[in-house]
């Protein structure tokens, strides 16, 4: 439930309502806005009787929100959230960011070379998996802690913030030490214990959409992180499973403007995992920017034909450089 206050409501009105909400056994979360304050009511399961509240001073109206998410919704929080990743700002009103890097960290030479190239082309952050969620156990699983150390070297040499995946609760402390932005992969979107713990640490989180997750499930997953106190969450569309097999997944670009309507959180797009095909990555990157994405996540590798994972969807260096030129021209045109 959301209690919307009159624009001339006083702090005393807000405090009195918060008290009544607490007496009803719920949590009250005042949400100050530029025009008026709203009070979110949390902890209820089902309809809350609003008779008493509607009679109180300063109350304009009461909205009964039946969605499984509240804290991530625009209704609760009309102002856009800007996520700060080691100084790089992501969200409404900021220049869309480009996160570039290989699927997995493979060697010092590979990751440092890529980081310097991404930086040279104007990329904003470096991606690279150290803990890799692979479909089968007999494939390359990532360099784990060694991979994190190599990311730290690459981050230091290039000056780029590090985006890397956290797969399990077991190594959350370790990964959080190295990552500037903690990525939750599609396969873990509903790992609720992991999400809760990420809500308790003070590091931004990149939450990828599950392979078969509806928008409501996606936002409800983000709600787990916000419910524990961490608002620094970026959502990422990375394609969903459909009947189509010509592409690795089906890129659901319509969620970009949709999520901007429903939520205050930034939304990025990963055209690499969405398409699985190198040639489709540049056009879908540009399409994501036109759709209003706050950033993109693009896989790039110095030698994609030798990549230990996701070579077919990784851009070559010349391909990435060319794309970055197109991105700059597009953003200038859109500005």
Residue 242, CB-side half-sphere exposure with 13 Å CA sphere: 13
- Among 270, 250, 248, residue whose Cα is nearest residue 127: 270
- Position 124 contacts Mn ion (CB under 5 A): no
- The 10 Å Cβ neighbour count of residue 22 is 12
Integer CA distances (angstroms), 314 to 74, 249, 282, 303, in order:
35, 15, 11, 9
In the complex with ligand PEP, the residue whose CB is nearer, 129 or 304, is: 129
What's the rounded Cα separation, in Å, for the pair 152 and 157?
Answer: 9
For residue 61, list its beta bridge partners.
Answer: 4
Residue 238 binding target from Mn ion, ligand PEP, none, CB below 5 to 8 Å by type: ligand PEP
In the complex with ligand PEP, the residue whose CB is nearer, 45 or 138, is: 138
In the complex with Mn ion, the residue whose CB is nearer, 103 or 221, is: 103
- Nearest distance in Å: CB 208, ligand PEP: 4
In the complex with Mn ion, the residue whose CB is nearer, 103 or 198, is: 103
- Nearest distance in Å: CB 165, ligand PEP: 6
- Position 270 contacts Mn ion (CB under 5 A): no
List residues binding ligand PEP (CB under 6 A): 103, 129, 133, 165, 185-187, 208, 238, 270, 273
- Nearest distance in Å: CB 262, ligand PEP: 21
What's the rounded Cα separation, in Å, for the pair 308 and 245?
Answer: 23
Region from 15-23, 160-168, 175-183, 304-312 binding Mn ion, contact rule CB under 5 A:
304-312
- Position 105 contacts Mn ion (CB under 5 A): no
Residue 296 binding target from ligand PEP, Mn ion, none, CB below 5 to 8 Å by type: none
Residue the block writes with tokens 């990964």: 175
The answer to whether the beta carbons of residues 233 and 222 sit under 8 Å apart is yes
What's the rounded Cα separation, in Å, for the pair 86 and 73?
Answer: 25
Produce one character per residue of 148-187: b if its CB has 16 or more CB atoms within 10 Å, e if not: bebbeebbeebebbbbbbbbeeebbeebbebbbbbbbbbe
In the complex with Mn ion, the residue whose CB is nearer, 23 or 305, is: 305
Region from 145-153, 256-264, 281-289, 302-310 binding Mn ion, contact rule CB under 5 A:
302-310
- Nearest distance in Å: CB 299, Mn ion: 6
Selected from 13, 75, 237, 310, the binder of Mn ion by CB under 5 A is: 310
Residue 271 φ/ψ, nearest 5 degrees: -75, -15
- Nearest distance in Å: CB 302, ligand PEP: 17
Residues forming the site for Mn ion (CB under 5 A): 103, 310
């Amino acid at each position: 439930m959301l209690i919307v206050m009159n624009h001339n409501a006083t702090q005393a009105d807000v405090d009195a309502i918060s008290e009544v909400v607490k007496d009803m056994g719920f949590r009250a979360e005042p949400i100050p806005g530029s025009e008026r304050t709203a009070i979110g009511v949390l902890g209820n399961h089902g309809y809350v009787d609003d008779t008493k509240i509607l009679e109180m001073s300063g109350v304009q109206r009461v909205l009964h929100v039946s969605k499984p998410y509240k804290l991530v919704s625009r209704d609760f929080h009309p102002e856009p959230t800007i996520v700060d990743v080691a100084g790089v700002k992501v969200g409404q009103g900021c220049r869309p960011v480009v996160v570039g890097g290989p699927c997995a960290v493979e060697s010092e030479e590979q990751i440092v070379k890529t980081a310097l190239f991404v930086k040279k082309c104007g990329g904003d952050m470096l991606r690279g998996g150290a803990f890799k969620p692979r479909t089968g156990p007999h494939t390359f699983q990532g360099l784990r802690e060694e991979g994190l150390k190599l990311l730290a070297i690459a981050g230091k040499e290039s000056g780029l913030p590090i985006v890397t995946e956290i797969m399990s609760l077991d190594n959350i402390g370790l990964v959080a030490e190295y990552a500037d932005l903690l990525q939750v992969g599609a396969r873990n979107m509903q790992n609720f214990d992991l999400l809760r713990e990420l809500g308790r640490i003070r590091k931004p989180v990149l939450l990828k959409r599950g392979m078969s997750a509806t928008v409501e499930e996606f936002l409800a997953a983000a709600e787990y992180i916000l419910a524990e106190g961490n608002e620094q969450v970026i959502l990422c569309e990375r394609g969903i499973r459909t009947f189509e097999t010509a592409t690795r997944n089906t890129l659901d670009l319509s969620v970009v403007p949709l999520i901007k309507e429903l939520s205050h959180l930034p939304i990025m797009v990963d055209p690499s995992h969405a398409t699985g095909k190198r040639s489709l990555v540049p056009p879908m990157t540009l399409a994501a920017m036109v759709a209003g994405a706050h950033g993109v996540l693009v896989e790039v590798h110095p030698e994609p034909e030798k990549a230990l994972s996701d070579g077919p969807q990784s851009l070559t260096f010349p391909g990435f450089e060319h794309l970055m030129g197109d991105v700059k021209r597009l953003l200038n045109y859109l500005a």
